[in-house]
Structure 1
Amino acid sequence: MKLIYILIALSGVLFTVNAQDNFQEVLNRIESNNTTLKALLEKTKADKIGNKTALNMANPEVEVGYLWGSPSEEGNRKDLNITQSFDFPTAYGYRSQVVTGQNVQADLVYQQQAKEILQQARVFCVELVYQTKRYAELNERVKLAKELSEAYQTRFDKGDINIIEYNKTKLNLLNSEKAMQIAEVEIATLRAELQRLNGGEPMLDLLSNYSSYSLPLSFDQWFNEAKMNNPALESAMKEVDLSRKQEKLTKALNLPKITAGYMSERLLGTTHQGFTFGVSIPLWEGKNTVKYQKAQTVALEMQQKDSELQFYNTLKNQYHRAGTLFDLLRDYEEILSTSNNRTLLKKAFEKGQLSLINYLLELSVYYETIDQYMEKEKEYQLALSELQQWDR
């Protein structure tokens, strides 16, 4: 417990952060060290290589025939047939466009998953700052409770007070110490979570301050920029474009396929050889494939519009929530900045103007106000973090 308190006191010296985002150094480390992201990056590379295999032509076919003649004087026949099939020429151009689009999609999927992991880390950072501040506040409460308990221990030993009053101070101290221990456990848990996201590498720095990110003045103006930084929305738009390209490719694949090759036939000392050429007749195989792909495009267009609408409404709700919490915090700050009830109550108690029970009761009300303020401050920062992740 003492070690954590010392680290908290030194955190301002140990932790150097960006002025605009106190969490950015932590996020940068996680982005570099996170093992899940490393695995996803390798998978993305593999998927892009796999997409390129669609550009390869079909394998050539070689057919050899050896036929025994009957009667034997007819001689034996030897055949050699080499063929290569080709799609209709325009199919190769469309297929290249589709593969390029698929590779872009693979990158966007990685970016989206990376954003999700970094946002999880940002939430842990907010929680860690909250628990760090709460621990510091509880530490002050423990000091005050310990002073009171020790003073009443002396009075109890002298016989000035009864056991009931003395036990009240002991219970007050016990509750304060247990609350601080719980905060200590939460700090350790959150640091372990950040270490997990950091690929198991320890993060020795403690966060003691929230990000200095401010609520955007105009939501709609901010949203127009934010949506450009959402890989999921960009992926949805690219998916529609990719589906349109797939339509063109499907049409091209339904056009006649061409087969060209070389053929030779040897019989009784004579050789017949030459080139072969064939064209497939597209009657049944491609039926409804183009119609299906067009229906897919329509469905993807609707999904893309819905995704943008849901994204807009979700962020707008967070924006309004953050604004409401900001106003609420200003009210708390106005009251807490003009009065320090902890000091006033202590002076009144020492002068005998408050009984022990009233002192503890009034102190608990003051503590509850601080706890509410810190809780709302955390909620405000969590709402901001939902917006901040789309700024880059």
Structure 2
Amino acid sequence: MYKKTAFALCVCLWSYISFAQTSGIKGILQQIEQNNSELKALREYIKGQKLQLKSSNNLPDPQLGAYYLPFGEHTTSDYTEFQLSQSFEFPTVYGLRNKLIDRQKDGLTLEYESKRQKILMEAEQNLLEVIALNKRNALELNRLKQAKTVFEQSKELFNKGQTGILELNKAKVAWMQLQFVVQQTEVQKRNKLLKLKSLNGGKELVVLESSFTEDLDLPQKESIWRDRLSGDPELRYFRQEEAIAEQKLKLARNKLLPDLSLGYNYQGVSGNNYSGFYGGLSIPLWNNRNKVKSAKSQLSFRQSNTNVQTQIVYTSFEEQFNNYQALLKKYLEYQATLEGLDNESLLFKAYKLGEISFTEYYIELQFFHEAYDSMLEMEKQLYQLKATILKHQL
């Protein structure tokens, strides 16, 4: 009995720990990476492409040829001949092509990493939206509760003849408006969860967080950029394309060397036969014409493109970083001004005591609500912008 109870408790505890580990942003992103249909398909595609690249360096098939010449006027026996041969490119070509294939495989891996980053970035942005909506929903529910209290207070004052029907109707409309806001927030949250479900291969995801757990600090701009240069698949892809072009140039130069053939030959006529080894080589006059020049042009383009694209990415990164710093400064000013204030309670107290009318109470309340909502919107934008700046860490 006790063993069964202990076992059940262990299972529950393990389930709770597992859920806690996967319910956070990192855990959910891991689930999405495993379950995303597009990434699954891309993994299979890349697996096939790598095998195809590997097969491109195989030797050509051996050739077997035979002659049997019984026709025509001749006094000797029929002529027979057969030959078995194997042709191949100059040996150094295979080694260089293997290096090129390795570079191309790395390029396919970077293609997958780039797609993975894009999908996880989209998922993280949606997760941050859901967390912000959870936080917003808790706030709106509290405001709704307060609006209901104000409406009931207005009804009580109306029954006592201390306020008019217009004030009562205003309080009711304000309460109804907040009900609609809560409903809208719920709909927005459901839509974001549907998007996350789609990214998770059709599997449901639970996002319980109603506050952002990470801080808003960022490392130094130069430090982030150094990490991005070495870790961001988008930037690594350009350098990889440059390395592939360089390897193609080396291969094109080596393909100027002649192809070789080796084999065995047999000839038989009039009871006599001859057999021995066969050897041959190609004369590389036409097949590789202009291919080296073309490879040089491709390498030059890739080198220029790497510099241009890196500069474009850096300019975008710098703009994002500057926008983040400006928004963070504004957010901290709002936070220092609004947090710790009890304006809503003070306003309600003044309204309850009859010191201000409902119209005055509502106008002042809306002012503080809009200011606090702006602060929450800035907070969400900061976390989303931070995620974009640090996307190379995904």
TM-score, length-scaled by structure 2: 0.90
Q: 1:167 to 1:187 in 2, by over 3 A?
A: same
| 1:358 matched residue in structure 2 | 360
Q: Which amino acid aligns with 2:93?
A: A
Alpha-carbon separation, structure 1, partners of 2:293 and 2:259: 20
1:16 aligns with 2:15: no
Distance 1:243 1:140, change over 3 A: same
Q: How far 1:74 moved relative to its partner? A: 4.8
Q: CA offset at residue 211 of structure 1? A: 4.5
Counterparts of 1:121-270 in structure 2, within 5 Å, are: 121-156=123-158, 161-270=163-272
The alignment-based identity, stated in percent, is 27
Question: Which of 231-240 and 341-350 deviates more?
Answer: 231-240
Q: How many residues align?
A: 379
> Could you say which residue in structure 2 is the equivalent of 1:92?
94
Give distance in 1, aligned partners of 2:323 and 2:18.
Answer: 33
Instruction: Read off the aligned partner of 2:186 and give its amino acid letter.
Output: E
Query: Residues 82 and 15 from structure 1, CA distance in 2 versus in 1: closer, same or farther, beyond 3 angstroms?
Result: closer
Offset at 1:245?
1.3
Give the aligned residue type for 1:134: R
Residue identity opposite 1:16 in structure 2 = A
Following the alignment from structure 1 to structure 2, what is the Cα–Cα distance between the partners of residues 14 and 139?
Answer: 30
Partner of 1:330: 332
**Residue type of the alignment partner of 2:360:** N
* 1:101 alignment partner, one of 82, 85, 103: 103
SS in 1 for 2:393: coil
Secondary structure in structure 2 of the residue aligned to 1:277? strand
Q: How big is each residue's C-alpha offset from its partner over 1:234-256, in whole Å with a ceiling of 9 and x where there is no partner? A: 22212212211111111111211
Q: Which moved more, 1:150-159 or 1:306-315?
A: 150-159
Give the drift of 1:36: 2.1
How many angstroms does 1:265 deviate by?
Answer: 2.3
Deviating more after overlay: 265-274 vs 287-296: 265-274
Contact preservation (8 Å) 1:139, 1:180: yes
Shift in Å, 1:64: 2.1
Q: CA deviation at 1:98?
A: 0.7
Measure, in 1, the Cα distance between the counterparts of 2:183 and 2:336. Answer: 30
Instruction: Say whether the 8 Å CA contact 2:131–2:207 is kept in structure 1.
Output: no
Establish whether residue 368 from structure 1 lines up as the match of residue 341 from structure 2: no
Residue from 341, 344, 362 that aligns with 1:342: 344
Of residues 53, 56, 61, the one that matches 1:54 is 56
Q: Is the 8 A contact 1:15 1:207 kept in 2?
A: no
SS at 2:279's partner residue?
strand
Whether the 8 Å contact between 1:23 and 1:211 is mirrored in structure 2 is: no
Instruction: Give the TM-score of the pair, scaled to structure 1.
Output: 0.90
In 2, Cα distance between equivalents of 1:347 and 1:17 = 44
Q: Offset at 1:292? A: 0.4
- Give the unaligned 5+ runs of structure 2: 1-16
Provide Cα deviations, 1:149-186, integer angstroms capped at 9, x if missing partner: 23333444566544432221221111111111010011
When structure 1 is superposed on structure 2, of 201-210 and 282-291 the one drifting more is 201-210
| Root mean square deviation, CA, Å | 2.3
